[in-house]
Amino acid sequence: MNSETFVHPSALVEAGAQLGAGVYVGPFCHVGPDVVLGDHVHLSNHVSVQGVTTIGSGTRIQAFATLGGLPQDTKHKGGPTTLTVGANCDIRESVTIHKGSDAGTGATVVGDNCFLLAYSHIAHDCIVGNNVTLTNGATLGGHCEVGEYVIIGGLTAVHQFVRIGRRAFLGGCSAVVGDVIPYAMAVGNRATLHGYNVVGLKRAGLSRSQLQAMRAAYRMLFSSEGTVAENAEAVRQAYSDIPQVVEILDFMTSRGKRHFVVPALDDRDNASDNDAD
C-alpha cells in the first residue's frame, strides 16, 4: 500500500491537522486544524472533517460526508468536545456525525469496522460499538448507546438517550423510543419486539439447544403473568447457565429504572416466528 500522503490541489488542509502515512484527501475536501487522520484514511471528495476529530486508520469517507460538526443541542455553549471514529469504517455519501456537547459527556465515539450508509446520522454524545451498520437514512438522537454488531434499518429513528443492546436488529422505518435488549429484533412505529435476531444469535455461535433456551427465556421474561421485573428474577434463576440470557438481564438492570421496548400486548406470551431455530 502506498505510504505517501496525497492532498488534491483543490482541498484545504488547515495548519495543525495531522495526517498519517498513505492518507488520501480528494478534491474539494476540508480538514480542520484539530483533526487527526490515521494511516491510509481516504477522503474521496467534498468531505468536511471539523473540530477535535480523530479518524482511525483505513477508514474511507465518501462524498459530502460531514464529521465533527457542531452538536444540534441548544444547551451546547461551544466548549471543547470531541469526535473519535475507529479504524476501517466505511462512511458513505452525506453521512453526518457530530462531536460531543458540553452539556453531555463531551465525546462522540464510533467504533471500528462500522458501515454507515448514505444519509445516516450519529448525533452528539453517542457511543457506537464495533461492527455496527446504519442503513440509509438511519438516525441516532443524542446520547444514544449502540452495542457491537447492531444493524439499524433504513429510515429508522432512535430517540435520544436510548440504548441498543449488542447484536440487536432494528427494522426499517421504525421509531425506537425505548431501550432494546441485546439480540432482539424491534420493528414498528412505535417499535415493539418481534423475538430475537436469530441470525445474530447464530453468528454469535449459539447451538440449537442454546437457541431453544433463549426462546424459552424470552417467553418467560415477557409473560403477561407478571411484571417484567418480576419475571426477570425467575429467568435469572432458571437460565443462569446461558451467558446471553444473563447478558440481557444485566442490560436491563444495570442502569436503574429505564423504559424498554417490549412485545406487543397480544404477543407477550408467544415467541415470534423470527425465533425459530
Active site positions, annotated? 124-125, 142
CA distance 133 to 276: 24
Helix (H) / strand (E) element for 229: namely helix 228-238
* Amino acid found at 5: T
- Helix then strand then coil, in percent of the chain rounded to 5, is 15, 30, 55
Compute the C-alpha angle 20/113/261, nearest 5°: 140
State the sign of the Cα–Cα–Cα–Cα dihedral 271, 266, 173, 217: negative
What would the grid cell of residue 88 be? 476501517
Question: 205: Cβ–Cβ under 8 A, 6 or more apart, which residues?
Answer: none
